[in-house]
């Protein structure tokens, strides 16, 4: 199974449904923090150009806020594609984006448990 | 002694690629009754038809089976060919080995096997066919047009021009439809009213045309050439014949706060109103939901001031009945409701509007007398600058969307690209200090002088076209609108601070289309557009004989296309009305009175009201006479649907051409 | 009415006020929260991957427990609500996930999405009713201008969460009205606070925070309410000095149950 197939399987998304309107990137609240934007994730996965995505910090900038999923006129669910690419990256050996030993310096007294749980779910396998 | 000929068509490769046509012809040659069997490349071609005709004569055929496409496609062709060769038309049967076989099977083996089975079934059936002779029915030389927009108007004018009477039934108080609300028309930018209102007046003045405004079709019975429609003339509480349209009543009416539907609620009208100055008929209508007299019996001002004595608070709905030979559906469209697309903030800010609302805001007869102002200024919700300096147009709102949102449409609404180019151009022309942005997915401009028009908006008028989609419109506390969208060419997210956002809202068939479709037994697609008899070759006819389609009720289209189709539709109507009589369908039901037990089951299921019961005298085996209640079928009304034959418990009902014994013979042949 | 209650990890530690006041208000309004025994953390974020079930199991256990008691499952934290409601939808609609989760868990009775998942706010609206709630208010919050912050988790995906219109919600505004205060509607109320980015990209979250709080402040709010401890963490220390409260804190004030 190649990377594209793996990502399609993890996401359950049919990228062919995309009509290239760009509404996902028009609606993304974290657009400016991303090198590759939601519509590019969909397009690049469809065209099999996945390596640049796997190496990009953009993987860790998606907020999973589902704005793109809610507003996509073709029901493509870009957030699920981004999540699948991220999983494909962090499931590799030693590829965890956040390591437990680095966490203490990043938290403060108010940090909710929920944040740590979410971060480990999103950034580590 | 049966002498059956079987003709197997290749349909080019449509059939021959998946069905071994020679093997089919070979296999059926040995069937009982078959004296001739052959295959040919295109059986429907002139040479193919000649082959059928020559064989009928040479082989003295008593029956013909053509293995080809659907009977809906070419049954009539082969029946006509057989008749010319002296064989009764109804001795021809079609085995559908294309739609029901080659197109749905992938491998030659199963395709061929099924084609042979279908051919055998048709042979078994044709053995039991009997020659049938169609009856004749007269044609009522009058047409009914449902809907009085530009489509209905054009169709009616053309039918009247050909010399036939035509009635327009319009549910609004005036004819004219959506076009009355449009300011200018693309691609020539002439004023919509200036080209529409003369046609409305023509309708009113043409003695062949009768307008039933503020009326709805209640029911339709009958069949092609012989429809009967019941039309409800809704009480408008004003005598149409007396009202002069002077407007004195409107002037004096104290009930001022009724949302004005003509201006899409952007301003108010009175409880008694004439929709707009050029209304046809120019007659006042009382809105009973708001009229103080109708609600609590206190007022009566309009009645007092009416010099013509036209006000009649006691007027009742009236049902009239009329006969028609043809019926035209011209029920039109509406923009969809966009409250479920509120990322664009339509229900959160008055300054987010639909394109149709913009038409009213730009129209001289609109709520702002043609001065483009922000609706929130108009409704005095704020006192910021009236004129919008930055305007953003959003394309494809609700169109080209999967069913993920309530009300969204999978189709392209077709008219939006052009009217947005028009709006953008007109705004830049009249207010050059305005910045205009258009967010688009594609710009679709197929049409004469259409792309040139769009390019003019870009090149001459400097409209900013941005390839991308708006993701969110945020109404700010200072009255501005933050528009966030993507610019796919520069790969950026854009933030435009706008004063007005215009949504190119998807259009959908009018809500009444579905019930009218049911009334007319005219088929519709899943979007509630009427279906054509053939999408390419019979685009203005419904599959239901005598029902014709005009305008957007058949699919999205602009004014030039609507008018073209409306005239085409009229030509088809005239082609029907010009006939004195129609050849009927002899494949109708009949009842065997000796077997009928008078149970009424058939009468209850008949959708056409073709079955009646009467008492008849019958001689009993013991030679006494008994009176029994038995069914009989009116062959002129029966459409041959066969529902009665299935409902009949005693087997007395049977259908010519599709008799119970013929169908059982087909089943036997399939199961052999 | 008794609800099986899933408090979630943060409500037992940093967000105790969200939990404590919710219980007090429930008692005052006549419904009961019975905490599920041995509940486990929902994971904080809905696991979207189709090829794993481990991350969904804690939700399924809680859902199955509520089903065993024949009660709806109530949540308070937006994140727990989002995760559990979406997992429940998977168990109902995705045969593959349902089969694999049940094969692993070996529950007494297979779980197939039968439990109704409700948010505390939905109970206030649909069971108690805002009219009844209004009558129960002892200290109307007269003159208070309250901006509801929904964030993303309560509303999206709209088809699954089905709590309110995801683009123009009203459930919290109606609650604010019922408490006697004036709701402040502002466009950023359903845009993400920055969520879990606040661990390693605090700058990006600061941008989100400022945009949201400024949008609410521009419309003249004097406080913001939320149902989510992470939203609270991300929005609380803002440049506009707008206080951020859990909606249950305001409700407890209004009902006079402190």
Residue B620's pLDDT band (cuts 50, 70, 90): confident
Question: CB atoms < 10 A from the CB of B151, how many?
Answer: 34
Residue B180's pLDDT band (cuts 50, 70, 90): very high
- B348–C186 CB contact, under 8 Å: no
Residues of A in contact with B408 (CB under 8 A): 73
DSSP β-ladder status, B333-335 and B581-583: unpaired
- Is residue C127 a part of any domain in this protein? no
Ranking A101-105, B64-68, B470-474 by mean pLDDT, the lowest is A101-105
The per-residue b/e assignment along B259-282, b for 16 or more CB within 10 angstroms, e otherwise, is: ebebbbebbebbbbbbbbebbbbb
Its sign, for the CA torsion B430, B436, B438, B443, is positive
Distance, first Cα to last Cα, chain A = 20
pLDDT at B72: 86
pLDDT at B526: 94
The closest alpha carbon to B174, from B152, B144, B191, belongs to B152
Dist. CA C37–CA C15, nearest whole Å: 20
pLDDT at C87: 98
B404, B450 in Cβ contact below 8 A?
no
Q: Write out pLDDT tens, residues B425-437.
A: 999 999 999 999 9
User: B-side interface with A, Cβ within 8 Å?
Assistant: 343, 396, 400-405, 408, 439, 441, 467-472, 484-486, 488, 491, 493
pLDDT at C187: 96
- A118–C44 CB contact, under 8 Å: yes
- Angle between helices C247-255 and C171-178 in degrees, nearest 10: 20
Average of per-residue pLDDT across B253-280: 96
Which CATH code for domain A3-92? 1.10.1060.10
Of 1.20.1730.10, 1.10.10.10, 3.30.70.3270, 3.40.228.10, the CATH number of B589-656 is: 3.30.70.3270
Query: Which element (helix H / strand E) includes B108?
Result: helix B108-126
Class of B335-508 in CATH: alpha beta
Distance, first Cα to last Cα, chain C = 23
Residue A61 at interface with chain C, using a CB cutoff of 8 Å: yes
Specify the number of domains making up chain C: 2
Average of per-residue pLDDT across B591-620: 90
- A73–B470 CB contact, under 8 Å: no
Distance, first Cα to last Cα, chain B = 22
Q: Is the pLDDT of residue B670 over 90?
A: yes
- A75–B472 CB contact, under 8 Å: no
The closest alpha carbon to B471, from C121, A39, C102, C42, belongs to A39
Interface test with C, best of A13, A77, A112, A119 (most C CBs within 10 A): A112
pLDDT at B466: 98
Dist. CA A90–CA A122, nearest whole Å: 9
DSSP β-ladder status, B4-9 and B63-68: parallel
- Angle between helices B416-430 and B355-362 in degrees, nearest 10: 30
Residue A100 at interface with chain C, using a CB cutoff of 8 Å: no
Closest C-chain CA to A80 = C48
Strand order across the B92-96 sheet: B34-40, B4-9, B63-68, B92-96
B427, B434 in Cβ contact below 8 A?
yes
Tokens of B284: 């006042």
Interface test with B, best of A14, A16, A19, A21 (most B CBs within 10 A): A21
- Is residue C174 a part of any domain in this protein? yes
Who among A21, A70, A75 is closest to B469 (CB)? A21
- The pLDDT > 70 percentage for chain C reads 100
- Is residue C126 a part of any domain in this protein? no
Spell out the domain ranges in chain A: 3-92, 97-125
Backbone angles phi, psi at B467, to 5 degrees: -75, 105
Residue B543's pLDDT band (cuts 50, 70, 90): confident
The closest alpha carbon to B609, from B328, B223, B231, belongs to B223
Ranking A86-95, B333-342, B561-570, B605-614 by mean pLDDT, the lowest is B605-614
How far apart, in Å, are the Cα atoms of B15 and each of B97, B104, C27? 7, 10, 75
Residue B583's pLDDT band (cuts 50, 70, 90): confident
Residues of B in contact with C220 (CB under 8 A): 477
Backbone angles phi, psi at C187, to 5 degrees: -70, -20
Interface test with B, best of C187, C221, C240 (most B CBs within 10 A): C187
**CA of A38, closest CA in chain C: separation in Å?**
16
Domain boundary among C64, C86, C120: C120
Domain boundary among C65, C86, C120: C120
Residues of A in contact with C167 (CB under 8 A): 70
CATH 1.20.120, domain B4-126, yes or no: no
A57, A123 in Cβ contact below 8 A?
no
HSE-CB for B552 with a 13 A CA cutoff: 27
pLDDT at B372: 95
Q: Which residues pair with B482 in a beta bridge?
A: B474, B497
Q: Write out pLDDT tens, residues A10-19.
A: 999 999 999 9
Who among A19, A26, A75 is closest to B486 (CB)? A26
Q: How many CB pairs under 8 A join B and C?
A: 31
Dist. CA B198–CA B512, nearest whole Å: 27
**CA of B400, closest CA in chain C: separation in Å?**
19
Dist. CA B177–CA B171, nearest whole Å: 10
Owner of token pair 């400022």: C210
Who among A22, A67, A70 is closest to B469 (CB)? A22
C92 and C148 together in one domain: no
pLDDT at C244: 97
Who among A67, A84, A110 is closest to C192 (CB)? A67
Q: Write out pLDDT tens, residues B37-76.
A: 999 999 999 999 999 999 999 999 999 999 999 998 999 9
pLDDT at B385: 87
Give CB contacts under 8 A, 24+ apart, made by B249-256. Answer: B249/B284, B249/B301, B249/B302, B249/B305, B249/B306, B249/B311, B250/B274, B250/B284, B251/B305, B252/B301, B252/B302, B252/B304, B252/B305, B253/B301, B253/B302, B254/B292, B254/B299, B254/B301, B255/B290, B255/B291, B255/B292, B255/B299
Closest B-chain CA to C168 = B342
Residue A12 at interface with chain C, using a CB cutoff of 8 Å: yes
Which CATH code for domain B142-234+319-332+510-577? 3.50.50.60
Q: Is the pLDDT of residue B635 over 90?
A: no
Interface test with C, best of A1, A114, A116 (most C CBs within 10 A): A114
Spell out the domain ranges in chain B: 4-126, 142-234+319-332+510-577, 248-305, 335-508, 589-656
Residues of C in contact with B348 (CB under 8 A): 168, 185, 187
- Is residue C47 a part of any domain in this protein? yes
Owner of token pair 């013909």: B64
Residues of B in contact with C167 (CB under 8 A): 340-343
Residue A21 at interface with chain C, using a CB cutoff of 8 Å: no
SS3 at position B95: strand
Q: Is the pLDDT of residue B404 over 80?
A: no
Residue C197 at interface with chain A, using a CB cutoff of 8 Å: yes
- B342–C187 CB contact, under 8 Å: no
Average of per-residue pLDDT across B78-89: 96
pLDDT at B384: 83
- A121–C158 CB contact, under 8 Å: no
Dist. CA B15–CA B7, nearest whole Å: 13
pLDDT at B637: 77
Q: Is the pLDDT of residue B525 over 80?
A: yes
Chains contacting chain A through 3 or more C-beta pairs under 8 A: B, C
**CA of C241, closest CA in chain A: separation in Å?**
17
pLDDT at B584: 84
**CATH number, position C58:** 1.20.1050.140
> What's chain B's Rg over C-alpha atoms?
31
Interface test with A, best of B469, B487, B489 (most A CBs within 10 A): B469
Residues of A in contact with C163 (CB under 8 A): none
SS3 at position B575: helix
Q: How many CB pairs under 8 A join A and B?
A: 74
Tokens of B155: 């169709």
- B342–C185 CB contact, under 8 Å: no
Strand order across the C182-184 sheet: C182-184, C145-148, C223-226, C244-246
The closest alpha carbon to A15, from A78, A92, A61, belongs to A78
C113 and C15 together in one domain: yes
Q: Write out pLDDT tens, residues B119-173.
A: 999 999 999 999 999 988 899 999 999 999 999 999 999 999 999 999 999 999 9
C13 and C76 together in one domain: yes
Domain boundary among C91, C120, C149: C120
- Is residue C129 a part of any domain in this protein? no
pLDDT at B383: 76
Structure-derived torsion over alpha carbons of residues B489, B491, B494, B500, reported in degrees to the nearest 10:
30
Domain B335-508 in the same topology as domain B142-234+319-332+510-577: yes
**CATH number, position C141:** 3.40.50.1860
Q: Is the pLDDT of residue C242 over 90?
A: yes
Residue A31 at interface with chain C, using a CB cutoff of 8 Å: no
**CA of B471, closest CA in chain C: separation in Å?**
11
Residues of C in contact with B482 (CB under 8 A): 187
Q: Is the pLDDT of residue B381 over 80?
A: no
Question: CB atoms < 10 A from the CB of C62, how many?
Answer: 27
- Is residue C128 a part of any domain in this protein? no
ipTM: 0.96
Domain extent for C76: 2-120
- C165–B478 CB contact, under 8 Å: no
pLDDT at B608: 75
Q: Write out pLDDT tens, residues B198-239.
A: 999 999 999 999 999 999 999 998 889 999 999 999 999 999
Residues 37-56 of A with CB under 8 A from C: none
Tokens of C249: 């804190």
C145 and C234 together in one domain: yes
- C14–A111 CB contact, under 8 Å: yes
- A70–C55 CB contact, under 8 Å: no
Residues 67-96 of C with CB under 8 A from A: 77, 79
Closest A-chain CA to C200 = A106
Residue B489's pLDDT band (cuts 50, 70, 90): very high
Dist. CA A27–CA A21, nearest whole Å: 12
């Amino acid at each position: 199974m190649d990377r594209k197939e793996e990502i399609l399987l993890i996401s359950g998304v049919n990228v062919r449904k995309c009509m290239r309107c760009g509404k996902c990137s028009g609606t993304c609240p974290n657009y400016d923090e991303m090198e590759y934007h939601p519509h590019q994730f969909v397009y690049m996965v469809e065209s099999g150009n996945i390596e640049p995505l796997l190496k990009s910090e953009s993987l860790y900038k998606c907020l999973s806020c589902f704005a793109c999923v809610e507003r996509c006129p073709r029901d493509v669910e870009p957030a699920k594609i981004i999540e699948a690419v991220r999983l494909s990256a962090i499931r590799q050996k030693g590829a965890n984006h956040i390591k437990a030993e680095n966490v203490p310096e990043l938290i403060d007294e108010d940090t909710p448990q929920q944040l740590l749980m979410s971060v480990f779910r999103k950034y580590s396998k | 002694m049966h002498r059956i000929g079987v003709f197997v068509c290749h349909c080019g490769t449509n059939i021959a690629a998946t069905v071994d046509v020679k093997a089919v012809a070979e296999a059926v040659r040995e069937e009982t009754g078959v004296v001739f069997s052959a295959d040919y490349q295109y059986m429907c071609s002139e040479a193919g038809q000649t082959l059928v005709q020559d064989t009928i004569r040479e082989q003295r055929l008593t029956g013909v089976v053509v293995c080809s496409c659907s009977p809906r496609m070419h049954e009539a062709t082969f029946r006509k060919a057989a008749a010319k060769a002296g064989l009764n038309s109804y001795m021809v049967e079609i085995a559908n080995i294309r739609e029901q076989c080659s197109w749905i099977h992938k491998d030659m083996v199963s395709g061929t096997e099924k084609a042979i089975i279908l051919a055998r079934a048709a042979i078994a059936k044709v053995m039991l066919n009997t020659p049938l002779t169609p009856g004749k029915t007269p044609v009522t030389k009058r047409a009914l047009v449902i809907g009085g927009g530009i489509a209905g108007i054009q169709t009616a004018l053309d039918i009247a021009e050909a010399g036939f009477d035509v009635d327009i039934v319009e549910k609004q108080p005036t004819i004219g439809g959506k076009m009355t609300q449009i300011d200018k028309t693309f691609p020539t930018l002439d004023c919509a009213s200036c080209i529409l209102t003369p046609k409305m007046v023509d309708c009113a003045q043409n003695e062949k045309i009768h307008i039933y405004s503020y009326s709805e079709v209640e029911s339709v019975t009958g069949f092609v050439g012989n429809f009967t429609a019941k039309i409800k003339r809704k009480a408008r509480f004003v005598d149409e014949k007396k009202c002069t349209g002077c407007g004195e009543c409107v002037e004096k009416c104290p009930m001022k706060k009724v949302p004005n539907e003509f201006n899409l609620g952007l301003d108010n009208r009175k409880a008694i109103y004439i929709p707009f100055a050029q209304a046809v008929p120019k007659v006042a209508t009382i809105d009973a939901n708001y009229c103080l007299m109708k609600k609590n019996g206190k007022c009566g001002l309009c009645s007092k001031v009416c010099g013509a004595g036209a006000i009649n608070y006691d007027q009742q709905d009236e049902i009239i009945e009329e006969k028609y030979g043809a019926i035209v559906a011209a029920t039109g469209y509406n923009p969809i409701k966009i409250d479920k697309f509120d990322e664009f903030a339509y229900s959160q800010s008055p300054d987010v509007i639909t394109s149709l609302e913009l038409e009213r805001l730009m129209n001289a007869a609109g709520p702002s007398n043609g001065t483009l102002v922000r609706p929130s200024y108009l409704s005095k919700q704020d006192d910021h600058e009236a004129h919008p300096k930055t305007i953003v147009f959003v394309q494809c709102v609700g169109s080209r969307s999967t069913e993920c949102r309530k009300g969204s449409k999978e189709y392209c609404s077709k008219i939006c690209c052009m009217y947005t180019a028009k709006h953008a151009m007109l705004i830049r022309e009249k207010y050059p200090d305005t910045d205009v942005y258009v967010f688009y997915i594609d710009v679709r401009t197929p049409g004469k002088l259409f792309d040139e028009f769009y390019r003019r908006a870009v090149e001459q008028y400097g409209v900013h076209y941005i390839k991308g989609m708006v993701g969110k419109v945020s109404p700010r506390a200072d009255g501005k609108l933050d528009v966030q969208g993507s610019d796919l060419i520069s790969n950026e997210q854009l933030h435009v601070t706008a004063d007005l956002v215009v949504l190119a809202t998807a259009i959908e068939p009018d809500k009444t289309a579905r019930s009218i479709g049911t009334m007319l037994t005219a088929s519709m697609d899943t979007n509630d557009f009427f279906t054509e008899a053939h999408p390419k070759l019979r685009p203005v006819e419904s599959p239901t004989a005598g029902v014709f389609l005009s305008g957007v009720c058949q699919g999205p289209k602009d004014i030039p296309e609507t008018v073209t189709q409306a005239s085409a539709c009229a030509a088809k109507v005239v082609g029907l009305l010009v006939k004195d009589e129609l050849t009927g369908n002899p494949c109708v039901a009949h009842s065997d009175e000796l077997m009928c037990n008078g149970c009424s089951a058939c009468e209850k299921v008949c959708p056409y009201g073709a079955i009646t019961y009467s008492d008849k005298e019958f001689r009993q085996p013991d030679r006494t006479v008994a009176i029994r209640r038995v069914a009989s079928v009116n062959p002129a009304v029966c459409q041959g649907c066969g529902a009665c034959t299935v409902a009949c418990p005693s087997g007395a009902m049977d259908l010519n051409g599709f008799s119970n014994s013929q169908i059982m013979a087909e089943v036997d042949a399939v199961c052999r | 009415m008794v609800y099986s209650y899933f408090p979630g990890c943060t409500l037992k530690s940093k967000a105790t006020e969200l939990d404590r006041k919710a219980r007090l208000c429930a008692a005052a309004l006549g419904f009961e929260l019975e905490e599920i025994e041995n509940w486990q953390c929902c994971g904080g974020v809905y696991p979207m991957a189709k090829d794993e079930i481990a991350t969904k199991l804690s939700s399924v256990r809680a859902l199955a427990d509520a089903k065993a008691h024949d009660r709806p499952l109530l949540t308070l934290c937006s994140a727990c609500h989002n995760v559990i409601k979406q997992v429940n939808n998977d168990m109902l609609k995705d045969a593959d996930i349902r089969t694999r989760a049940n094969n692993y868990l070996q529950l007494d009775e297979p779980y197939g999405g039968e439990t109704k998942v409700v948010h505390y706010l939905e109970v206030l609206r649909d069971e108690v009713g805002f009219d009844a709630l209004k009558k129960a208010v002892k200290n109307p919050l007269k003159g208070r201008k309250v901006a509801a912050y929904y964030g993303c988790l309560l509303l999206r995906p709209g088809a699954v969460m089905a709590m309110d219109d995801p683009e123009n919600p009203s459930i919290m505004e109606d609650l604010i009205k019922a408490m006697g205060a004036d709701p402040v509607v502002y466009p950023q109320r359903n845009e993400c606070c920055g969520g879990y980015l606040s661990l390693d990209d605090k700058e990006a979250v600061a941008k989100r925070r400022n945009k949201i709080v400024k949008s609410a402040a521009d419309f003249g709010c004097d406080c913001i309410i939320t149902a989510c401890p992470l939203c609270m963490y991300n929005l609380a220390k803002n440049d506009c000095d707008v206080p951020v409260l859990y909606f249950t804190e305001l409700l407890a004030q209004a009902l006079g149950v402190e």
